[in-house]
Amino acid sequence: MSHEARVIVSTVNDLSELIRQFIHHLLPQNHPRAEIELLYRMMRDYPERGGKRIRGQLVLMSALAYGGRTEPLERVPGLELPMSGFMARAVPLASALELFQNWVLIHDDIEDESEERRGSPALHRIHGMALALNAGDALHVYMWEAVFQGPAEARAEFLETIHRTAEGQHMDLGWVAAERWDISPQDYLEMVRLKTAYYTVVAPLRLGMIAAGLTPDPRFLEAGLALGAAFQIRDDVLNLTADRLDYGKEIAGDLLEGKRTLMLLWWLERANPEQHEFFLKAMNKPRVDKSAQDMAQILEWLLSSGAPQHAMTVANAEAERGLHILEQALSDAPNGRAVKIILEQMRSLATRTH
């Protein structure tokens, strides 16, 4: 499949448009059988709901940071750059990482029994579980189509990233399935590093450097795990506290799903015996049987305990540590303008308040 991008990149948001176009051309659209066209529409649904494509953008920014070694990127203001050379190697990888995120979200939404995704009903709420599960698998294969259009060195990176993400997801879901609440904050940190940090920060930084023809900096691992953990801890806090319209997710969805979060684990260690008992009784019910009143009570205790503030403090510490290591790692990169943008974006990702 050939892809001719006509976009000129002059702002960071244009990188997202490059990815959108690549995915648009990669995924199939028409089929003589109406049934199979429905599958194609289902595969396009989540990618077309948009989102910020932060992971794909980070792949391209990392490629720009290192690609500057071979192409003069600073000749014009911003990052103006036609699609050529190493960017043609980077865009398939950035798009593949976004496709990874999208097929994983289809399956996550089924696993978590989520109602909504990006402000609309989750795919399995529209088409039923069976068709949505299968569409996630079909999209997974298109992720590999995209990977194969990038440099060969990226394959091992995708294998590693998906292995680790599946392991983190298994830990998270396994605690829910086993009704386990004897989880330490350290367990939680290990889980989110696997579940979130690999594919959100570690892999994008590495894939960009691979696209630029270089071997990934080993410091990206520690930096990415810290920044990714900061991102997920904040995401958990925002899930509980943010304004619905502002954020576009179900408020307190994590409570309904029984997600183990740093806030909950921290509060639970400090809850009095009555609260503890109330909590376990209310939480160890299937989602549909959970009472809104119970959830509101737990939410109130949680918010008034200082748990969100504590979680934010941990997130900030992880963010600062990650940014410090990342800054050192990127100090070798030839394109200082791209480095500056990456650090700003990572700071904003790991310290966002909405």
43: Cβ contacts below 8 Å, ≥ 6 apart = 27, 28, 135, 138, 139, 142
- Determine the interface stretch with a copy of itself among 85-93, 125-133, 234-242, 324-332 (rule: CB under 8 A): 125-133
* Of 11, 50, 141, 270, the one binding a copy of itself by CB under 8 A: 141
3-state class (DSSP) for residue 270? helix
> Cα Rg for the chain, rounded, in angstroms?
21
SS3 of residue 96 by DSSP = helix
Q: Which is nearer to a copy of itself, 33 or 75 (CB)?
A: 33
Name all contacts of 21-25 with Cβ < 8 Å and 24+ positions apart: 22/91, 22/92, 22/94, 22/95, 22/146, 23/47, 23/95, 23/98, 23/99, 23/146, 25/1
Rule CB under 8 A: is residue 182 a binding residue for a copy of itself? no
Residues present in the chain in total: 354
Which of 80, 145, 250, 294 is in the footprint of a copy of itself by CB under 8 A? 145
> C-beta of 132: minimal distance to a copy of itself in Å?
9
Q: Whole-number minimum distance, CB 129 to a copy of itself, in Å?
A: 7
Cβ proximity to a copy of itself: between 44 and 234 the closer is 44
Are 33 and 43 in contact by the 8 Å Cβ rule? The answer is no
E-state strands within 103-150: 116-117, 120-121
Binding segment (CB under 8 A) for a copy of itself, from list 47-55, 58-66, 110-118, 244-252: 110-118
Nearer to a copy of itself, 112 or 235 (CB): 112
115 binds a copy of itself (CB under 8 A): no
Binding site for a copy of itself (CB under 8 A): 31, 33, 35-36, 38-39, 104, 107, 110-112, 127-131, 133-135, 137-138, 140-141, 144-145, 148, 155, 159, 162-163, 166-167, 169-171, 173-177, 190
